[in-house]
Amino acid sequence: MIRWPPVLVLALLAASAGAETPASAPLTLASAIAEALSKSPRMAAARAGVQSARAQYRQARAEGLPSLDLSVGARLQGPEARIAIPTSPGQPGDGPQLPARGLLNPRYAVEPQVAATVPLYTGGRVRAGKRAARAAERAALYREVDAGQALALDVAQAYLATAEARERLALVVAARELHRERLQVAQVRRRAGAAAPFEVSQAEAELAAAVQGEIEARARVGQEGATLNTLLGRPAAAPLVLVSLPASRPDEPLLPTRAAPLTAEELQALGLQRAALQAVQEEVRQREAQVEQARAAGRPQISLSGAFLRRIPETLLGGYAWSLGASLVQSLFDGGRSRAQTDGVRAGLAQAQAELGQAERQTAERVERARLALEEAEERLGAEEERVEAARDGVQVARTRVGAGDAAPVRLTEALTTLTQAETNALAARFALARARVNLAYLVGIARPETVPDLTAPVAVPAQSSEGGR
């Protein structure tokens, strides 16, 4: 069952987010997806594929309908020829007149003709062609849905990567300042004779590494922003103002309507129903119909035809003529072309069936890998948040000891450095969890464009979890 066509999704998102988000306005994930859907060449190609498939279905349906043709022929010829009856002695005038005054070959002739053909029996060609075209149309519709889901996934991943890069940059800058402070402390201690030269060298090396990390973090912000801008149809260097997303929590259900997480069996079942797989299934049905269509090519065809011809000017043959007849066409020998075509289509069917089986196995594998990756991300986030809490406790202890004079100020700097590193790891874990949720939701076919933003926000926060960050 096809759920939300991307065209309808785009209309819903455009109504809620506006026709287009200005480059200077804050960009939410929902508005980013709506903007990408409206500008993406991938969606335009998918919609064009649907239109093409629908046109092919109309063409296949028209094959079994009656046809009516009008043709008009005009010619100039000569010499003009007439037939006249010789007059007999004693008979006045030219004698009796023939129809159309005896015109046999006019100098000019105009002959409009209307011809109609009604197929009576096609051997199943039309029925099979309609089945194949209808399956192709459904496959194109599923491809359009999958294109919308894939684009929403790409935009969500790029949005999360850009937001993570920006937050990571802020933490890297804070870490660089802490390393600079540690270097100053080490230099003071070295001048006072309380520290060895190695301590200063180590602090300088750590500061240089922190500066290099800041350079890389700034470059990553620009790279991820360029990727997101490209998906949105904007210039790669266009400014971006992102709205911070609530952090995803462990053990949150993928479907907001469920209180419990989906089981592995439910995820596998959903994965086999996603739009991409259903498109492959429709392609198999299309190949089956094409096999029947190829077999029907060897059956006879019966049709009824009629025509009406008007002669201008009227001749000895009359002013009009009509005909009505039936025809039977049966191929007696075609050199093996029909059989070769049938064998080729059957081979295509076997190939499509094999591709479907392979796609189902790959989907099952990817769903299971994504499920395990989500579990790993949830466990990692829990561990990283515990480290953040421990690092915060360490900062409080260090601050208390420094205030009481029991420890040197450098101990507080070291504790703050440890906290910054823990927060950096927790930040990476939170965004990894969000990406894992979106990826799994896409693989099981529930990451529709209008629901992707909800996958990155908490639905029900477990009581045992604690929020990371400062």
Residue 461 is assigned to a structural domain of this protein:
no
Residue 452 neighbours by CB under 8 Å, 6+ apart: 29, 33, 152, 153, 155, 156, 438, 441
Residue 22 is assigned to a structural domain of this protein:
yes
Lowest mean pLDDT among 135-139, 210-214, 247-251: 247-251
Beta bridge partners of 409: none
Cα gap 446→435, rounded to integer Å: 14
Three-class SS state of 360: helix
* pLDDT for residue 85 is more than 80: no
More confident call, 124 vs 253: 124
Residue 169 is assigned to a structural domain of this protein:
yes
Two tokens, residue 238: 């266009």
Question: Helices 29-39 and 197-232 meet at what angle, rounded to 10?
Answer: 50
Two tokens, residue 390: 């421990």
Cα gap 267→364, rounded to integer Å: 9
Beta bridge partners of 320: 310
Alpha-carbon distances of 358 from 254, 281, 353, 387, 456, rounded to whole Å:
26, 12, 9, 43, 31
Which residues form the domain of 450?
6-74+101-455
Across 277-288, average pLDDT: 95
Residue 113 is assigned to a structural domain of this protein:
yes
Across 286-313, average pLDDT: 93
Two tokens, residue 430: 């939170």
pLDDT of residue 470: 34
Cα gap 444→366, rounded to integer Å: 10
pLDDT of residue 21: 55
Residue 298 is assigned to a structural domain of this protein:
yes
Total of domains in the chain: 1
428, 168 in Cβ contact below 8 A?
Answer: yes
Q: Tell me how far the alpha carbon of residue 389 is from its chain's centroid.
A: 42
Three-class SS state of 32: helix
Alpha-carbon distances of 128 from 55, 61, 109, 133, 141, rounded to whole Å:
16, 10, 44, 9, 20
pLDDT of residue 203: 85
Residue 460 is assigned to a structural domain of this protein:
no
Residue 107 neighbours by CB under 8 Å, 6+ apart: 76, 77, 78, 79, 80
Across 257-278, average pLDDT: 83
Lowest mean pLDDT among 14-18, 224-228, 262-266, 291-295: 14-18
Across 440-466, average pLDDT: 63
Residue 20 neighbours by CB under 8 Å, 6+ apart: 35, 38
Beta bridge partners of 463: none
Nearest Cα neighbor of 140 from 279, 233, 266, 302 is 279
Residue 396 is assigned to a structural domain of this protein:
yes
In the 8-state DSSP scheme, what is residue 27? B
Nearest Cα neighbor of 452 from 166, 254, 269 is 254
313, 100 in Cβ contact below 8 A?
Answer: yes
**Largest Cα–Cα distance of the chain, in whole Å?**
158
Torsion sign across C-alpha atoms 407, 412, 418, 419: positive
Adjacency order of strands within the sheet including 67-76: 67-76, 108-121, 301-315, 318-329
245, 163 in Cβ contact below 8 A?
Answer: yes
Residue 95 is assigned to a structural domain of this protein:
no
We report the CATH number of the domain holding residue 58 as 1.20.1600.10
Rounded CA Rg of the chain:
39
pLDDT tens figures, 15-64 = 343 445 555 678 888 889 999 999 989 999 999 999 999 999 999 999 98
Two tokens, residue 125: 């060609």
* pLDDT tier for residue 188 given thresholds of 50, 70 and 90: confident
Question: Helices 337-404 and 409-443 meet at what angle, rounded to 10?
Answer: 160
pLDDT of residue 244: 73
* pLDDT for residue 147 is more than 90: yes
468, 22 in Cβ contact below 8 A?
Answer: no
